[in-house]
C-alpha cells in the first residue's frame, strides 16, 4: 500500500488508517474476531492504527494491544484522550492532571511503553492551550509519546496552538483529525488550508459518513443505527430529521454516480477523501471482515475530473448537509448561549 508522509514528522504511514472504534462493546464484541480484522488490515499493508481511550471504555485499546503483540515496532500507533469516563469532572478534558493519568492508563491497556501519536479528542476553550501543550511536551521529552495531535479543532484554534507552542517553547501539534466525507465538507473552507499552511498531517475520520455512504440507509427503510456507537449519535442518524432525509437524497444520487463510474459507493466515498491534497490518510472503521475488504478495495481508486465535478454538483464544496456532523461547535452558537 502507498505510504504518505505524516505531516512534516518524517514518519511514513499507509494511505489508509485503521480505526478501531467498532471493536469491543460498541461494535464487534468478540475479541478474537476483532484481532483477525486488525491482522488482515496489517497484512494488506496498513501500518497506521488509531484508537481512543473512550472507545468501549478502554476495551478497544485492550484489543489493539493484544492484536499488536509481536508487531508493535512496525506500527504507527495513535490513540486519544479527553472524553469523560464517568461523572467525575476531573476524569476528562485537557488538564495536566488528566493527561498524566490518561496516558498511563492507555499505555497499560495497549501493552506498550510508548504511543506514536497522542491526540486531544476535542478542544475545550475553558482549558488553557499552554496547559495542554505543556503536559504533552513533557510526555514527548519523557519518551512516553513520540508526537501529539488534535481532533476537530477549529481553524482559529489550530493557528493559536501553533503560536502558543512557538511562544512558550513547547512541542507543537503535528496532526489534525477532523470529520470529512462527501456529505461533511465544512473543513474545506478553512481547516484544510490552515493544515496545509502549517504542514499538519490530516487523518480524517468517518469517510463513509458513519454508514450513510455504504448503502446501509435507504429512502424506503426506517431502520436506524444498530451499533451502540451509532445509537449515541442520534442527531446524525435519526431518519425522521429533515437534514438526515437530505443526506439520504444525496447518498442515493451518489450511489447512482458510483454505478455509472463502475465503482461501489464505498470506493467512491473513500477515493474522494483520498483525492484531496491536504489529506494524509482517512480512517476506515470496519466492524466486520467484509466491511474491511470493501474499504481496502478503495485504496487504489482514482476519480476522474468528471466524477469529481458530478460529486460537487450533488454536495457543493465546503457544505455539510447536517451541521451536527461538523465535530466541534462553538458554545456561542448553542441555543442556551443565544438565549442569554
Catalytic residues: 55
Which residues is 149 bridged to in the sheet? 119
- Decide: helix, strand or coil at residue 306: helix
Cα 228 to Cα 225: distance, rounded to the nearest angstrom: 8
**Own/partner long-range contacts of 290-294 (Cβ < 8 Å, ≥24 apart):** 291/214, 292/37, 292/40, 292/41, 293/40, 294/214, 294/264, 294/266, 294/267
Cα 108 to Cα 41: distance, rounded to the nearest angstrom: 23
The grid cell for 26 is 460498541
Report the DSSP pairing between strands 48-50 and 115-120.
Answer: unpaired
DSSP states along 202-261: E--B-TTGGGTTTT---TT------SHHHHT-HHHH-TTSHHHHHHHHHHHHHHHHHHHT
Count CA atoms closer than 13 A to 337's CA, side-chain side. Answer: 6
Cα 96 to Cα 142: distance, rounded to the nearest angstrom: 14
Report the DSSP pairing between strands 201-202 and 115-120.
Answer: unpaired
- What is the phi-psi region of residue 42: left when phi exceeds 0, alpha when psi lies from -120 to 50, beta otherwise? alpha
The grid cell for 202 is 490530516
Amino acid at each position: 500500500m502507498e505510504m504518505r508522509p505524516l505531516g512534516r514528522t518524517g514518519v511514513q504511514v499507509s494511505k489508509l488508517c485503521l480505526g478501531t472504534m467498532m471493536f469491543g462493546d460498541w461494535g464487534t464484541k468478540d475479541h478474537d474476531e476483532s484481532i483477525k480484522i486488525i491482522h488482515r488490515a496489517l497484512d494488506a499493508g496498513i501500518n497506521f492504527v488509531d484508537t481512543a481511550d473512550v472507545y468501549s471504555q478502554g476495551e478497544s485499546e485492550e484489543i489493539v494491544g493484544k492484536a499488536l503483540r509481536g508487531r508493535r515496532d512496525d506500527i504507527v500507533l495513535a490513540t486519544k484522550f479527553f472524553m469523560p469516563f464517568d461523572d467525575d469532572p476531573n476524569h476528562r478534558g485537557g488538564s495536566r492532571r488528566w493527561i498524566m493519568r490518561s496516558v498511563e492508563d492507555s499505555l497499560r491497556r495497549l501493552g506498550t511503553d510508548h504511543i506514536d501519536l497522542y491526540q486531544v479528542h476535542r478542544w475545550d476553550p475553558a482549558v488553557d492551550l499552554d496547559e495542554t501543550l505543556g503536559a504533552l511536551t513533557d510526555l514527548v521529552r519523557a519518551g512516553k509519546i513520540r508526537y501529539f495531535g488534535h481532533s476537530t479543532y477549529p481553524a482559529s484554534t489550530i493557528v493559536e496552538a501553533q503560536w502558543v507552542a512557538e511562544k512558550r517553547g513547547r512541542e507543537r501539534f503535528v496532526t489534525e483529525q477532523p470529520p470529512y466525507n462527501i456529505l461533511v465538507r465544512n473543513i474545506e473552507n478553512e481547516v484544510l488550508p490552515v493544515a496545509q499552511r502549517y504542514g499538519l498531517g490530516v487523518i480524517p475520520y468517518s469517510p463513509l459518513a458513519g454508514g450513510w455512504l455504504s448503502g446501509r440507509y435507504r429512502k424506503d427503510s426506517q431502520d436506524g443505527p444498530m451499533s451502540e456507537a451509532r445509537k449515541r449519535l442520534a442527531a446524525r442518524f435519526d431518519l425522521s430529521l429533515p437534514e438526515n432525509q437530505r443526506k439520504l437524497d444525496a447518498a442515493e444520487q451518489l450511489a447512482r454516480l458510483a454505478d455509472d463510474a463502475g465503482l461501489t459507493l464505498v470506493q467512491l466515498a473513500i477515493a474522494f477523501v483520498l483525492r484531496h491534497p491536504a489529506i494524509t490518510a482517512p480512517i476506515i472503521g470496519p466492524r466486520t471482515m467484509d466491511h474491511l475488504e470493501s474499504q481496502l478495495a478503495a485504496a487504489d481508486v482514482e476519480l476522474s475530473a468528471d466524477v469529481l465535478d458530478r460529486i460537487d454538483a450533488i454536495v457543493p464544496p465546503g457544505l455539510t448537509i447536517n451541521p451536527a456532523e461538523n465535530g466541534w461547535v462553538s458554545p456561542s452558537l448553542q441555543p442556551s448561549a443565544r438565549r442569554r
